[in-house]
Amino acid sequence: MSGRSSEVETLGRSALAEIVERLGRSHDFVVIDCPGHDTYLTTFTHSLANTLITPLNDSFLDFDVLGTVDPNDFKVTGISHYSKMVEEARRQRSAHDQPAFEWVVLRNRLSTLGSRNKRLVGEALSELAKTLNFRLVDGLAERVIFREFYPRGLTAVDDASQLALGSRPTMSHVTARLEMERLMTAIMLGHLVARRPESSDASRDAA
């Protein structure tokens, strides 16, 4: 059974790699949304990434998939299962002489108000970023407007017309759009800087 399982996994990896390569020839970006559980294809998909984006709700409950903290002082004490999977994906890329991917961790559903929990989670993530070599980016705030977009099939960067929304756009729509544009800029600029060759021409192009 183990031999058969190994053969199936090899075929699965080959098929996925072929699909991603084919899409890459005709698209600027290929986005793969991985499941929340660990499988051989999940790890392999991570190893194919140029940029790995990990959204994380701003709580220690979600932080636990990346690392562990001391319950008394909230200092980082170790790394957890997801971080170990990312490390394995990095090893797979290195074994095939591929450049390291950029890892971006998004603090998602942020409260617009300051709190002790928000500060402690931020400090723990900043500490963990040094160990795991990821870039920490503030993601999207907890806004009702994002929930209102969904049933209409809209996103924050779509044209929020009165016809599409069923009502006049408000400052909430503008704020959500600006927040999404800021997030996309942070992700893309980091991606370009991480892969900018050391030449004046490349620097000019990236700018």
Residue 126 has pLDDT above 90, yes or no: yes
Record the pTM.
Answer: 0.77
Residue 173 has pLDDT above 90, yes or no: no
Region 147-166: what's the mean pLDDT?
74
Asked if 124 and 63 count as a contact pair (C-beta separation under 8 A), the reply is yes
Region 104-115: what's the mean pLDDT?
83
**pLDDT at residue 200 in the model:** 32
- Give the mean pLDDT of the chain: 83
What is the rounded distance in angstroms from the CA atom of residue 195 to the CA atom of residue 147? 35
* 107 sits in which H/E element: strand 102-108
| Annotated domain spans of the chain | 1-30, 31-142, 144-207
Q: What is the pLDDT of residues 2-34, one digit of tens each?
A: 566 788 899 999 999 999 999 999 998 899 998
Sheet with strand 51-57: strands edge to edge: 51-57, 102-108, 135-138
Q: What is the pLDDT of residues 75-106, one digit of tens each?
A: 999 999 999 999 999 998 999 888 989 999 99
Confidence of residue 160 (pLDDT cuts 50, 70, 90): low
Q: What is the CATH number of domain 31-142?
A: 3.40.50.300
Show the tokens assigned to 99.
Answer: 């450049």
